[in-house]
Chains A and B, each alone.
Chain A
Amino acid sequence: MSAIINDFTINIATANGTGSQSANLILLQSLFEMGVPVSGKNLFPSNISGLPTWYIVRLSDKGYQAPGDRTHIQVLVNPATWDEDLAALEPGSVVIWNSDTKGKTVERDDIVSYPVPMSSLARKINPKIAKLVTNIVYVGVLAELLGIDQTCLESAVAKQFKGKATAIELNITALGLGRGFCNEELTKADPYAVEKRAVTKPQFFIEGNEAAALGAHYGGVQLLAWYPITPSSSLAEGVINYIPRLRTDDDGKANMAVIQAEDELAAAGMVLGAGWAGGRGMTATSGPGISLMQEFIGLAYFAEIPSVFWDVTRVGPSTGLPTRTQQSDIAMLYEGSHGDTQHIVLIPGTVEECFEYGWRAFDYAERFQTPVFGMSDLDLGMNRWACEGFTYPDQPMDRGKVVREQDVFDAFETFGRYLDVDGDGIPYRTLPGSGMAPILYRGTGHNPMGVYSEKPEDYFNLMQRLRMKIDRARDELPAPILREEEECEVGIVFLGSMENSIQEIDDILEETGLKVSQCRVRALPFHAEVEAFVRRHETVIVLEINRDGQLYGILRRELPNDLVTKVHSVAYSDGMPPRARIYAERILATLEEVKQ
């Protein structure tokens, strides 16, 4: 039996609310500290306690971060999903199971079985918290079976329980019990092992939501107005958590405000109020929240109010699968609200970009005087990703065309709030309280002076100017990331967290002899580079995590007619983070159809 090193997937089945999350994060962190390229996906239910949850840890020397095609090592702790999880395993898989589980056993002779009395071992430490400790026992067993370095394990425990000496000690003891049991009672009969890897660039793990929250601080956010919703709450709470450290003066007074709103409508209204008053306001929400905010989004577009909305997307429609991931708000964000609208959408694919767009969103919102969306998703936002560090903004805050001084104001021959002085579609504004050119902002039709108007030419010209304004933004937004070899006939256009599966998809395609180019879209409206990419390829696949091919629809509509027929959609979503093989096979099938 030859060893399989750093290339397998562990699936841990537990019940929600039993403390398994910290055990799983310790496992993930310890592997990370060994330099093993590893990713963790938390598949959790919409529930506080009791429903099944799975944690998938994938080790991959190739750096693949998608959940793999199959489970190699299954940890069984939850009786509720026991039979189903066991039945799904391919022959040759490994099962580590809690042999104290009443009425459950493992009777398959085509798999490697390691019974571990996890509950009894845990009770030895402290019967009162046996349920919690059970989880850390299986980490100890895994550590011994796979060869996880003890120093890395202890360091991971210390990170998880920052400074809480009792918790650290308890967990290390429990890990030891797991290791000890494995040593004395089990004989290794599987090929899986981990090996340290040299770390070329130091990295740390961080969730996309925390990265975006930090980015917002470095964008000088002044108001966070939010309403709790999975999976965006940790973005808002991330902003709040860093206020004492980053935004508070020596007297304990903050230079930003946080208001937990009564609903998403109010949160959006507050963000608009902040923008209207001259400040940087943001909210963080998910699809259902954006649905509720539609009316205000239209007002922000029409009255030209800078405002920032983060949508950490989840599975829709309706309440959908609230704790699963999807890229299905693309169309809603791009064309949010009734009437003709078009919005700037920033689409990070990495935690570094979550940080960067966290601050840039405000610059774009104020420069273009319009709502700007950050579109992340549950996978990117709530799972931990490797990061080399965040880069400080390379330019001062762009506050846009705001007239603050009287002499600047006096230099205008005519001042109109919606007068296109510079021909770029972006008018100048004055702020409430300044006394300069006061107007009554409104969501009704208005002329360039900001006065109510129903005149056909006023409405027509206003809508044309708004279109031009957003259209001109496209090449100032983040350009797509292109990975391209000249000879490729097929190009893949994708976005967001698909970044974490694309390399594996690419490799699967290459195994079949197909080499493809990649174009990761990072903003809407499309950068000119996207059209150029389509033009350079014979066939273009738009790959996305939804049913309808929303990005494909937008691209088709905006491309010149001669390019439209080149473009094809591969859209798929089942709630799971994108598994590479599913998408690769669909790409191959689509290309086959195109050929015929």
Chain B
Amino acid sequence: MSEKPARAIKLNVINEPKDSYTGGPSSLCPGCGHDQISSVIINAAWENGIEPHRIAKMSGIGCSSKTPAYYLGQSHGFNTVHGRMPSVTTGAYAINKDLLYLGVSGDGDSASIGIGQLIHAIRRNMDMVYVIENNGVYGLTKGQYSATADVGSKKKKGPANETQPIDLCALAINLGCTFVARSFSGSKKQLTSLLKAAMSHKGFALIDVISPCVTFNNNDESMRSYSYVKENEVTLHMADYIPHFNPVEEIEVPEGHFKDITLHDGSTIRLETISEEHDPGDAMAALTALHGAETGGKHVTGLLYFDATKPSLAEDLGLVDGALLDVPDEVLRPSQASLDALNAEFLA
């Protein structure tokens, strides 16, 4: 009697199967771009070999913010309040800076109600990955325009949007954000590379992902529909991520022009120029590319801006090594002698 050999389950560098990174079933509309992003998050975390329980999934309120239930089921998460995920993440980070904070937000969350918190998290160079699932529309409240909707964009019902949009990548670059990228939920390869790089970045990594709403914002007149974006996407760079634990196995060095950028953890991101030379260290060039794309009614994708020189929040706080969480109670509470000395000084 012969037994069929069990099919080998593919493991990552820490011997975890991809199943260790999946979550519950999605309750979003079938075909939603956000579900593609969730699957990219699962892939990126698995391929990067991060221990799933060392990730903290953070979100605000909205369709995008529901997605942490659909990936990384072994990670703790916090689905907080509308637009205020950055502050909760900041507080958690102060206590446990050793976790990887993966925030997922939407354009309502990030460009309207929570824009202040986004701005200040960038300003602090808070060490986190911040993914914006951007569809230009409020989904859960059934289809109102958001602050990222392009002028002239038209959703299924009602008049065209006439209000100037906020470009979150341009905003972030102007604020000195240390990692700014834009991608498209359908560009799985590019998004995976960007997300893996963002996970290795020390500082605030913003990825604005155009993620079409299949229900409220996907007619052909909308500038965020699948058909529009597929036809008009300008890919600035082909980003290939080289994981630090195995720099050889994962890459194929492409032919032609490329540029390597070393990240804080020693890993490298390699950028391949497709259409034009772009230096991600050049904020002006990035803004010009964004502006040019906007003028031409296009979306430019890729790693737009990167700066490894700025200290992240942890360095600014001047804290003890390791997480505050691990400081024993006896150390957190000053000694009886210290209080005796204070009382004596007050009485003197």
Could you say which of A202, A270, A279, A430 contacts B88, with CB atoms under 8 Å apart?
Answer: A270
B residues less than 8 Å from A452 (CB atoms) = 69
Highest count of chain B CB atoms <10 Å: which of A202, A256, A277, A387: A277
When chains A and B are docked, how far (Å) is the Cα of A225 from the Cα of B90?
10
**From DSSP, what is the main secondary structure of chain B's interface residues?**
helix
In the complex, are the beta carbons of B53 and A223 less than 8 A apart?
A: no
B residues less than 8 Å from A442 (CB atoms) = 78-79
Could you say which of A255, A275, A399, A435 contacts B320, with CB atoms under 8 Å apart?
Answer: A255
Highest count of chain B CB atoms <10 Å: which of A218, A266, A430: A266
Q: List 12 A-B contacts (CB under 8 A).
A: A223-B324, A269-B86, A273-B94, A279-B96, A279-B325, A299-B80, A397-B333, A433-B53, A438-B53, A440-B76, A441-B79, A443-B79
In the complex, are the beta carbons of B334 and A204 less than 8 A apart?
A: no
Stretch from B37-45, B264-272, B274-282, B340-348 that touches the partner: B340-348
Could you say which of B91, B318, B339 contacts A254, with CB atoms under 8 Å apart?
Answer: B318
When chains A and B are docked, how far (Å) is the Cα of A484 from the Cα of B231?
83
In the complex, are the beta carbons of A273 and B89 less than 8 A apart?
A: yes
Min Cβ gap A547→B in Å is: 32
In the complex, are the beta carbons of B327 and A255 less than 8 A apart?
A: yes
In the complex, are the beta carbons of A439 and B91 less than 8 A apart?
A: no
Min Cβ gap B19→A in Å is: 15
Chain B residue with the shortest CB-CB distance to A295? B81
Min Cβ gap A546→B in Å is: 29
From 96 to 117 in chain B, residues with beta carbon under 8 angstroms from any chain A beta carbon are 96, 98-99, 116-117
Q: Which 3 A-B pairs have CB atoms at the shortest separation, nearest pair first?
A: A273-B91, A269-B87, A220-B332
Chain B residue with the shortest CB-CB distance to A389? B343
A residues less than 8 Å from B51 (CB atoms) = 435
Contact of A434 with B by CB under 8 A: yes
In the complex, are the beta carbons of A432 and B88 less than 8 A apart?
A: no
For the A-B complex with A254-B318, A257-B324, A269-B91 known, give 20 more contacts whose Cβ atoms are closer than 8 Å: A202-B347, A204-B347, A222-B95, A222-B327, A255-B331, A257-B317, A266-B87, A269-B80, A269-B90, A270-B91, A272-B91, A273-B93, A278-B96, A279-B96, A281-B91, A432-B92, A433-B98, A440-B57, A440-B76, A441-B78
In the complex, are the beta carbons of B77 and A441 less than 8 A apart?
A: yes
A residues less than 8 Å from B94 (CB atoms) = 222-223, 225, 257, 259, 270, 273-274, 279, 281
Q: Mark A371-413, 1 if CB is under 8 A from B, else 0.
A: 0000000000000000101101100110100000000000000
Q: Mark A247-286, 1 if CB is under 8 A from B, else 0.
A: 1010011111111011101111111111111111100000
A residues less than 8 Å from B332 (CB atoms) = 220, 222, 255-256, 280, 397
Chain A residue with the shortest CB-CB distance to B336? A392
Highest count of chain B CB atoms <10 Å: which of A256, A295, A430: A256
B residues less than 8 Å from A204 (CB atoms) = 346-347
Contact of B319 with A by CB under 8 A: yes
When chains A and B are docked, how far (Å) is the Cα of A281 from the Cα of B325?
11
When chains A and B are docked, how far (Å) is the Cα of A433 from the Cα of B99?
7
When chains A and B are docked, how far (Å) is the Cα of A270 from the Cα of B117?
11
In the complex, are the beta carbons of A433 and B54 less than 8 A apart?
A: yes
How many contacting A-B pairs (Cβ < 8 A)? 209
Min Cβ gap A360→B in Å is: 12
In the complex, are the beta carbons of A252 and B318 less than 8 A apart?
A: yes
Min Cβ gap B34→A in Å is: 15
In the complex, are the beta carbons of B80 and A247 less than 8 A apart?
A: no
In the complex, are the beta carbons of A274 and B92 less than 8 A apart?
A: yes
B residues less than 8 Å from A222 (CB atoms) = 94-95, 324, 327, 332
From 210 to 242 in chain A, residues with beta carbon under 8 angstroms from any chain B beta carbon are 214, 217-220, 222-223, 225
Chain A residue with the shortest CB-CB distance to B79? A442
In the complex, are the beta carbons of A438 and B342 less than 8 A apart?
A: no
B residues less than 8 Å from A449 (CB atoms) = none
A residues less than 8 Å from B99 (CB atoms) = 432-433
In the complex, are the beta carbons of B69 and A278 less than 8 A apart?
A: no
When chains A and B are docked, how far (Å) is the Cα of A274 from the Cα of B88?
8
From 304 to 333 in chain B, residues with beta carbon under 8 angstroms from any chain A beta carbon are 317-321, 324-325, 327, 329, 331-333
Contact of A246 with B by CB under 8 A: yes
Min Cβ gap A397→B in Å is: 5
A residues less than 8 Å from B77 (CB atoms) = 438-441
Contact of A296 with B by CB under 8 A: yes
Contact of B49 with A by CB under 8 A: no
In the complex, are the beta carbons of A262 and B346 less than 8 A apart?
A: no
Chain A residue with the shortest CB-CB distance to B338? A246
| A contact residues vs B (CB 8 Å cutoff) | 202-204, 206, 214, 217-220, 222-223, 225, 245-247, 249, 252-259, 261-263, 265-281, 295-296, 299, 359, 387, 389-390, 392-393, 396-397, 399, 430-435, 438-444, 452
When chains A and B are docked, how far (Å) is the Cα of A244 from the Cα of B333?
14
Min Cβ gap A39→B in Å is: 18
In the complex, are the beta carbons of A433 and B334 less than 8 A apart?
A: no
In the complex, are the beta carbons of B87 and A218 less than 8 A apart?
A: no
Contacts A441-B78, A444-B79; A296 near B324 (Cβ below 8 A): no
When chains A and B are docked, how far (Å) is the Cα of A397 from the Cα of B334?
12
In the complex, are the beta carbons of B81 and A443 less than 8 A apart?
A: yes
A residues less than 8 Å from B124 (CB atoms) = 259
When chains A and B are docked, how far (Å) is the Cα of A217 from the Cα of B335?
11
Contact of B302 with A by CB under 8 A: no
B residues less than 8 Å from A255 (CB atoms) = 319-320, 324, 327, 331-332
In the complex, are the beta carbons of A253 and B320 less than 8 A apart?
A: yes
A residues less than 8 Å from B336 (CB atoms) = 392
In the complex, are the beta carbons of B81 and A266 less than 8 A apart?
A: no
Contact of B74 with A by CB under 8 A: yes
Chain B residue with the shortest CB-CB distance to A404? B325
Contact of B181 with A by CB under 8 A: no
Could you say which of B68, B79, B96 contacts A433, with CB atoms under 8 Å apart?
Answer: B96
Min Cβ gap B10→A in Å is: 22
Could you say which of A266, A269, A392, A438 contacts B76, with CB atoms under 8 Å apart?
Answer: A438
Contact of B186 with A by CB under 8 A: no
Contact of B238 with A by CB under 8 A: no
Highest count of chain B CB atoms <10 Å: which of A203, A254, A279: A279
In the complex, are the beta carbons of A276 and B88 less than 8 A apart?
A: yes
Highest count of chain B CB atoms <10 Å: which of A203, A269, A434: A269
When chains A and B are docked, how far (Å) is the Cα of A120 from the Cα of B117?
54
Highest count of chain B CB atoms <10 Å: which of A219, A253, A259, A432: A432
Could you say which of B317, B321, B329 contacts A220, with CB atoms under 8 Å apart?
Answer: B329
In the complex, are the beta carbons of B329 and A269 less than 8 A apart?
A: no
In the complex, are the beta carbons of A274 and B333 less than 8 A apart?
A: no
B residues less than 8 Å from A393 (CB atoms) = 333
Min Cβ gap B332→A in Å is: 3
Contact of B73 with A by CB under 8 A: yes
Contacts A253-B318, A262-B120; A435 near B74 (Cβ below 8 A): yes
In the complex, are the beta carbons of B56 and A432 less than 8 A apart?
A: yes
B residues less than 8 Å from A246 (CB atoms) = 334, 338
A residues less than 8 Å from B318 (CB atoms) = 252-254
Contacts A256-B324, A277-B95; A272 near B319 (Cβ below 8 A): no
A residues less than 8 Å from B98 (CB atoms) = 433
Contact of B144 with A by CB under 8 A: no
Highest count of chain A CB atoms <10 Å: which of B54, B94, B120: B94
Highest count of chain B CB atoms <10 Å: which of A245, A390, A392, A399: A392
